Structure 1
């Protein structure tokens, strides 16, 4: 969940490759990690699990199912807050993230909380784990929006997940892509097609290099991606914005959240 626009960048909408996405988003998160943790760390909790800016917790959602004694992988783990919470509930959680700096924050929180999360540097499209290694794989606003080759990423998830395992992930609600990323009233007026899947790209004016990428999939795209790999969709959660929740996080806000969903949470099983 990014909420920044670096200076001296231009925004484009154009196709990008997986290599471009990875080269942009890893260093971008390295640059942004300190600010991200300083700004949002209290909201996330050092040993906490929220699914999105609305503040829906895993205690409330129950998306992961039973955790005690289960092997759990978090893809796009950041500083490991969610995995740390899983470990506090008896699960054997492991984290994976593309950002080295985020993993340094994870190590810091390991030491501060006394709840250590084994974590590795890697990408969702090439998970460095053996087949059938995990009972649960999850991603809380993590890697999936930053991956161009989403098919291979879900193939990898299915590969490392044991039969009968659970897969749960949250992303920006796909309908949000119709609107400007503005927490105020301008963010309530649709300005582009929901079916336009052209990636959002930020380019550094000084170097001409792609510095940040996000990819859009519709609700139907996500359902098809899961079904094509044998997943059975159990639930689709669209958290409502709490009436007393005033936090502004990038394009998420109370003004928008009371009218339109900002987060989609998919819960699926691998028979």
Structure 2
């Protein structure tokens, strides 16, 4: 872990990196993400099995870090009014291209930094992120912003890295090990590329941060991948993820 850089430095670095990564990322992962649009995490746990999200029909929904916006388009087809936000213009170009054949139920695409959401207070009933903005922006800045833009009683649901993933990741070999490589206390920011960082917190720190901003934990999902699950992330092997959680899915609610 390293000292926290200013918010603008994080945003600029991650934007440049994702603009560079975008085409290769979509080529490698896009087909699975599109075919399992409403699914969580690296092993694509189906939402219709987990039932994490509130009902979305007729409601205002924000996706934070939408990539090609497959999730957002699927929710829009179910009647949600969706805003799909990403920091990367290259990612939003993929989202726009995929949405051309569905003009009636297209989400609104917004390029913005999740550290400063360009929306009025109490704009959304549901905010969610499957990795995306809740992994690639600083939670000490995103959580208060999301609490601000959610309506009273609104839901924040997101999937992000487990602390165990961060603690067992070997940076030199870029592999997951069965040994602890990083201390649990002090988890926050990881440098994952020369110009990019992502974020992970311990469970207690997440809970504390939610509480400070008026959000109450309702559910935490940690499950191994199903036997027939697929992933396009080859450095997250099934043998490891069948023993320890790699994804954690939080559902928290803004106090009425």
TM-score higher than 0.5 here? yes
Rate the CA distance shift 1:187–1:229 in 2: closer, same or farther, 3 A: same
The 5-angstrom pairing of residues 116-195 of structure 1 reads: 116-148=106-138, 150-181=139-170, 187-195=177-185
Rate the CA distance shift 1:165–1:212 in 2: closer, same or farther, 3 A: same
Aligned mates of 1:90, 1:145 — CA distance in 2: 27
List structure 1 runs of 4+ shifted beyond 6 angstroms.
Answer: 182-185
Which position in structure 2 is the counterpart of 1:262?
246
Matched, 1:95 2:84: yes
CA contact (8 A) 2:129 2:159 kept: yes
Which position in structure 2 is the counterpart of 1:6?
none
Matched, 1:24 2:8: no
Aligned mates of 2:57, 2:106 — CA distance in 1: 16
Question: Number of aligned pairs?
Answer: 252
**Structure 1 runs not aligned, ≥5 long:** 1-12, 205-210
Structure 1 length normalisation: TM-score? 0.86
| Aligned-partner SS, 2:252 | strand
CA contact (8 A) 1:172 1:263 kept: yes
| Aligned-partner SS, 2:39 | coil
Aligned mates of 1:240, 1:97 — CA distance in 2: 28
Root mean square deviation, CA, Å: 2.1
The 5-angstrom pairing of residues 54-73 of structure 1 reads: 54-73=43-62
Rate the CA distance shift 1:118–1:189 in 2: closer, same or farther, 3 A: same
Aligned mates of 2:17, 2:63 — CA distance in 1: 20
Aligned mates of 2:174, 2:237 — CA distance in 1: 8
Aligned mates of 1:73, 1:251 — CA distance in 2: 30
Aligned mates of 2:222, 2:99 — CA distance in 1: 31
| Aligned-partner SS, 1:192 | coil
Rate the CA distance shift 1:52–1:198 in 2: closer, same or farther, 3 A: closer
Residue number among 96, 101, 104 corresponding to 2:93 in the alignment: 104
| Aligned-partner SS, 2:84 | strand
Q: Displacement of 1:76 after TM fit?
A: 0.9
Aligned mates of 2:191, 2:91 — CA distance in 1: 22
Residue number among 41, 62, 80 corresponding to 2:30 in the alignment: 41
Aligned mates of 2:250, 2:158 — CA distance in 1: 5
CA contact (8 A) 1:248 1:254 kept: no
Aligned mates of 1:186, 1:73 — CA distance in 2: 32
Matched, 1:228 2:184: no
